Amino acid sequence: MSNTELGSYYFHQGTNFRAYEYLGCSLSMKDGKYEYTFRTWAPNAKSVGLISDFSGWHRAVPFSRVTDNGIWELKYLSDRSLELSPYKFRIKSRKGTHDKGDPYARFSRGGADGASLIFTDKSFKWEDKRWLEHRKKTISSDGKYYISAPINIYEMHFGSFMRHEEDNRYYSYSELADILPSYLKKLGYTHVEFLPLQEHPFDGSWGYQVCSFYAPTSRFGTPNEFRHLINSLHKAGIGVIMDWVPAHFPKDEWGLYEFDGTPLYEYQGKDRMESRSWGTRFFDLGREEIQSFLISNALYFFREFHIDGLRVDAVASMIYLDYDRDPGEWHPNHLGTNENLEATAFLRKLNSAIFGEFPDALMIAEESGSFGGITKPVDMGGLGFNMKWNMGWANDFYAYVKTDPIYRKYHHKALNFPLMYAFTEKYCMPISHDEVVHGKGSFVNKMFGSLEDKFAQARASLLLMMTYPGKKMLFMGTEYAQFREWDFDNSLEWFMLEYPNHKAFREYVAALNFFYLDHSELWDIDFDEDGFRWLLADEADKNVVAYRRFNKKGEYLIVAINFSGGTQTVRIPTEKGVRLEAKFDTGRLAPEHKDIKISKKGSEYSAELVLSPFSGVIYKKYSSKKRIKI
């Protein structure tokens, strides 16, 4: 077979993981002329034509059907370069004529028009070799423990992180490349996670309704300018995670919706086709060509943009047949269960392909159900992700901090129950965009009580999140306690840093982040019970928890947090000959906590801790080092 025939064969087999090199638009030179090869998959089309700036929008240049399974091809010769020229595919079917963007376009002008843009520029030069070597060393397993490295993620929505004050205009990829790396580095973050940046028509979808999956959105610049941003972040030692949406796509006319006049990329059956809540179409994940499309797309961003990971959105909507459906609206699989077997098989195939080529990638699942084995390796029967958002912890904890401290004793399980399942999956502890919008309140405003108490509880809450097992994530604006809910259509309220409380809060977050980075006890063993021991799990009446975090050397930190509105005195078990020193606190500790002496009763040793209202402290075995006081 020729390379072209192989490309087609493997595409239809669901194993062409470089489908973007076969389909879409590619460039070669022929007799001094520019030869552009356009290919698309439209098995139910009567005809396919090219309409464009360079060939005319009203007269379609016809494609030829080159495979029985629906690949159409056009070779277009030009005397000049057509780089950045807009084009579409005019598809005629039994239902009429539709002008579609190229599903494999590497650039698009988006919006309501959605014309694809020819982009063949391969001139970008990467300068991130040092980062990629670092990634290979840190995102790994030492045999027993996986990812013994700090991961502290700053989640952000590109379009509302920062806007130009004079006209509310977006900052570009290039402009943020001059700002974002140093900001994240100074605050102690290891990674940034972007809400979806593939081309999407509707700003209000926050990027989650993608029409052009291979095209970084043109809102902020060109693909190479996006590469420049990633390159700048890598040079600063910041990893890049992209939010990725393989579950569904919108019904915009120019997108994948009924691409050849019939459901093609989407499920055909009414019981699986559409999301009631989102108004979008679900990908037909059992179809081989869709597998080639999506897995190639994931690998495209790893290969061509050097991303470090994908956060896979809405996994629950993929793996449950009854997701967002009432009884009678869905059909069980042949085993009689609600598992979408095609979807789980696809996710295993996806993760196997990613880790086969990029063993140091991060594949993070946003999965809100109780599906077992999300982060278990594929060869052990799992879905193969290497992290999962701990949404159960987040939901329970937010309900807890909203509660009047007088009644928190009845909800103490929000603090101790997460450790009942903490090591069943490899968790990321998320304070995400989903929880600071739609009337849910900003993070600091979720806290009960007065303004002063809100800030104190927010500090204590972040101390808990940063010291519980699991990797970390914080949504933008939370680092300086923005009070207004997140608004996708406007900039964060950076002016709030002019107020002392907010400036001090960001300084606290930075200090906490750097304490986390500097202490392996907080990240060396995140996914195994060897890294955690309760000291006080059931002090519900006092709203207190205390625990140890261990590193691989057996060294430990002691964390104690008081979520009550009053001072609490507790005793924690300890060892003979040990003295404790407070190394980090939330800023409201009694002075005597600098040096904690141990007392003995019978054969048992213990330390008495006096915790101020809404405060937390991290202790270490006695040393001469001074504690950090915020």
Name residue, tokens 């499920």.
267
Q: β-strands 33-41, 71-78: how paired?
A: antiparallel
Dihedral of CA atoms 495, 498, 499, 503 in degrees, nearest 10, equals 100
| Residue 498 Cα distances to 56, 351, 482, 586, angstroms | 55, 45, 12, 21
* Three-state secondary structure string covering 517-573: HHCHHHCCCCCCHHHEEEEEEEEHHHCEEEEEEECCCCCEEEEEEECCCCCEEEEEE
Q: Residue 388: CB partners within 8 Å, gap ≥ 6?
A: 364, 365, 366, 367, 374, 375, 425, 426, 427, 428
Phi-psi region of 147 (alpha: psi -120 to 50; beta: other; left: phi over 0): left
- Tokens (6 digits) for 215: 């095209």
Would you say the C-alpha torsion 218, 222, 227, 230 has a positive or negative sign? Answer: negative
Q: Look at residues 170, 428, 164, 222 and name the one whose alpha carbon lies nearest to residue 310.
A: 428
Name residue, tokens 């399942």.
421
| Distance (Å, whole) CA 104 – CA 106 | 6
| Distance (Å, whole) CA 526 – CA 466 | 11
Q: Look at residues 410, 411, 416 and name the one whose alpha carbon lies nearest to residue 400.
A: 411
Longest CA–CA separation in the chain, Å: 94
| Distance (Å, whole) CA 70 – CA 32 | 31
- Tokens (6 digits) for 401: 């901090």
The answer to whether 569 touches 610, Cβ cutoff 8 Å, is yes
Q: Which residues pair with 581 in a beta bridge?
A: 595, 620
Catalytic (active-site) positions: 313, 366
The answer to whether 484 touches 436, Cβ cutoff 8 Å, is no
Would you call 43 helix, strand, or coil by DSSP? coil
Phi-psi region of 494 (alpha: psi -120 to 50; beta: other; left: phi over 0): alpha
Q: Which residues pair with 556 in a beta bridge?
A: 550
The answer to whether 442 touches 474, Cβ cutoff 8 Å, is no
Q: Write b or e for each residue in 90-103: b if 16 or more Cβ atoms lie within 10 A of its Cβ, otherwise e.
A: bbbbeeeebbbbbb
**Contacts made by residues 338-341, CB under 8 angstroms, sequence distance 24+:** 339/371, 340/272, 340/285
Q: Residue 292: CB partners within 8 Å, gap ≥ 6?
A: 10, 11, 12, 13, 14, 15, 16, 17, 19
> What amino acid occupies position 290?
I
Would you call 177 helix, strand, or coil by DSSP? helix
Instruction: Count the alpha carbons within 13 Å of 456 in the hemisphere toward its beta carbon.
Output: 22
